[in-house]
């Protein structure tokens, strides 16, 4: 999922070992964290949409 998102949004190929050797962990971390604020698969999985508020005048549970 992260690999596909990185490729789709940033054009980063994690299969390119030469690229990963010259880039720092910070470089990768920044891009992975940015996926959380982008429209990405990772964001959809880890940040689900908020639940809808209860409608006004709802029912109360019976005792």
The dihedral region occupied by 48, where left means phi > 0, alpha psi between -120 and 50, and beta the remainder, is: beta
Q: What is the pLDDT along the chain (63 residues), one digit of tens a residue?
A: 899 999 999 999 999 999 989 999 999 999 999 999 999 999 999 987 778 676 676 666 666
Q: Cα dihedral sign for 8, 9, 11, 14?
A: negative
Phi, psi of 54, deg, nearest 5: -65, 140
pLDDT of 6: 95
Q: Where are the domains of the chain?
A: 2-46
Distance between alpha carbon 45 and the CA centroid of its chain, in Å?
A: 7
Phi, psi of 53, deg, nearest 5: -70, 155
Q: Cα dihedral sign for 29, 33, 38, 39?
A: positive
The answer to whether the pTM exceeds 0.95 is no
């Amino acid at each position: 999922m992260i690999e596909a998102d990185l490729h789709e949004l940033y054009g980063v190929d994690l299969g390119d070992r030469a690229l990963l050797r010259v880039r720092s962990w910070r470089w990768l971390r920044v891009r992975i964290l940015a996926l959380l604020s982008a429209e990405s698969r990772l964001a959809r999985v880890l940040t689900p949409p908020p639940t809808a508020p209860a409608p006004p005048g709802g029912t109360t549970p019976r005792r």
